[in-house]
Chain A
Amino acid sequence: MKSYILTRIGLSIPMILIILTIVFFVLRVLPGNPVLAMLGPKAPPSVVKAMEHQMGLDKPILVQYVDYLKNIAKGDFGHSTVTGMPVLKELMQKFPATLELTIFSMVVAVFIGIFYGTIAAYKLGSPIDISARIYSIFVYSFPVFWFGLMLQLIFGVWLHWLPVSGESSPFMTPDPIHTGIYILDAIINGQWDVLKDSLEHLILPSLTLGIVISSIFVRMVRANVVLTLSQQFVVAARARGVKEKTVLFKHALKNALPPILTIMGLQFALLLGGAVLTEVTFSWPGIGSYLVNRIHSRDFAAIQGTIVFFAIFVAIISILVDVINAWINPRVRY
């Protein structure tokens, strides 16, 4: 198992390198001069030249590329051209909010996906199965911002049950901040009113995102559990007197998990890179909102940094997924 994990990590290094390379060259090829974006179009050429020199943009492109890789290896993602702050530091500030939203949305999506999908597969062809199929097609077609807006309208504007934007109400942030994840910090501090406020702010965005994503999960889970339920070992388990619930979850679902976990893991990584539409709809101060802001202001360092950050996450999560799959499936492990 250990050697498996090590090989798997080794294999992902070239993958990350390829992504870094693509990000670097694509951003250089794109129209728009970052220096001009920073200084404004009317900046005198001498100032532009000096700035380019300072940023190392006048060096040959391969030298720039090597510098870029070296810096990333050191954990230096460059400085924002808008704020002058290190990009990694800015990202780490935004990351807890995104992580919070991601985890809660994934909990919603995984819960709906696993249960609805498994039960639909078990009751193949029944009304509950048909409803699951309709659900997954219908919800999948929801535009996130429209669905978010609907929830805001119903639960925020009409019913006044829940706040419609932001991560917390004014003066309702945890103090002191430990992790940046408000819920966690509020619990650590024992600030229960803050915890309640944070949870209330979290419900609508994570429901929006979770429900939309659950449509894919329901479909994936259903299809894979239908397959495993038809296998001989399921009949054999029943012939041993195993209870239906065990047959369904321990035999059928667990064997169906590897492809499901792969999709779920990738979805998780995708969200960690910022659920742009949801974050913008709910003014959620995470990486998605950050990225949109910086795209508007042509902050190349920030954009590049966000993409690299995201790529590294995808790599880490896919390693994790593979390790979990190997742990479930002995064939891979041995």
Chain B
Amino acid sequence: MELLNIRNLSIEYKTKSGTVKAVEDVTFEVGEHESLGVVGESGCGKSTLGVAILRLLPPNATTKGEIIFNGKNLLSLTNEEMRRMRGKEIAMIFQDPMTSLNPIMRVRDHFFELFKVHEPSMKKEQMIKLASEALESVGTDPKRLDNYPFEFSGGMRQRVMIAIAIALKPKLLIADEPTTALDVVVQEQIMQVLKNLMKTKNMSLILITHDMGIVSELAEKVTVMYAGNLVEHGEIKEIYNEPKHPYTKMLLESIPNIKLDDMELKYIPGSPPDLKNPPKGCKYYPRCPYTKEICKTKEPKTVKLGDRKVKCHLYSGG
């Protein structure tokens, strides 16, 4: 059975200057122990999607559709039921490790708070043991439990964030650009930490990133998003070997590749549409090299090609 089923999920933000369609009719699933990469350019709705799973969107957001986790629709839980899921069943880490820890709390107290919320009867020795194990599993010395966040570097803080996130062995970890704010060497270390965790813990992962390279290191499946839409979804190997959606092709060509250093690095011309006034038809047509007449007027349907899903008129027989 799938751990997470997202069905026809649409999310809108109401703002003074109009309604932002941040996520539109997105459907995908994540299996147990599976890791899924969600990729796309900045502003395409990746974080919105991730935060929506935890139901932590700001009050101006409205969510439609279904988020079925372990057989339960998260969108129909009470606030209290949902709160109990967070940190215990589903955990999340964020892009900016420098500001994700409470600056006036010791690392230890971040763990203890989590434990007290979810397991009020846990003894102190047990809490210290669990916290130490979690820190060790991300390669951090448990002695550092007594330190304050400002005593850590960015990479160390992200390790701590991951340790807190996995301390209660959640079934799903959502990592929203966990390495974007870090320098390249540290990025690689954090990726290594996540890889080890995926091998040793029974956990599923949603890895949100704008970097196709990072997805290829870790994920088994990938969802490509463009302007709030899922444009392609499938096994990472298949998508790598044979991207179908023109946007996926562009994304893959824009990965820096050391072996091909004589080749010119491609970038995607143009910029994503304004989500308050997206173009009619396919959202990608203004930047697409294969645009036909139909792309400008009719929104493509999502079609299944084997295990793959693609939302493009090139494949919808149109």
Contact = CB atoms under 8 A, between A and B. Distances in A.
A241 B102 contact: no
Interface residues of A, number: 21
A293 interface: no
Nearest to B148: A330
A235 B104 CA distance: 16
A231 B54 contact: no
Contact of B102 (A243, A251, A331, A334): A251
Contacts of A255: 102-104
Contacts of A331: 103, 148, 150
Nearest to A237: B102
B114 interface: yes
Contact of B104 (A242, A243, A328): A328
B84 A241 contact: yes
B117 A242 contact: yes
Contacts, number: 70
Given A231-B99, A236-B161, A331-B148, A241 B114 contact: yes
B91 interface: yes
Interface in A204-259: 231-233, 235-243, 246, 251, 254-255
Nearest to B161: A236
A233 B113 contact: no
Given A233-B100, A331-B148, A240 B161 contact: no
A259 to B, nearest CB: 14
Contacts of B118: 241
A330 B92 CA distance: 26
A232 B158 CA distance: 13
Contacts of A235: 51, 56, 94
Nearest to B55: A238
Contacts of B113: 237, 240, 242, 246
B83 A241 contact: yes
Given A242-B113, A243-B117, A331-B150, A236 B103 contact: no
B34 interface: no
Interface of B: 51, 54, 56, 83-88, 91-92, 94, 96, 99-104, 110, 113-114, 117-118, 148, 150, 161, 164
13 contacts: A236-B100, A236-B101, A238-B56, A239-B92, A239-B94, A240-B113, A240-B114, A241-B84, A241-B114, A243-B83, A330-B148, A330-B150, A334-B148
Q: Lowest 5 A-B CB distances belong to which pairs?
A: A241-B87, A240-B87, A241-B86, A232-B99, A239-B92
Given A232-B96, A235-B94, A241-B87, 9 more contacts: A236-B101, A239-B54, A240-B87, A241-B83, A242-B113, A242-B114, A242-B117, A251-B102, A255-B102
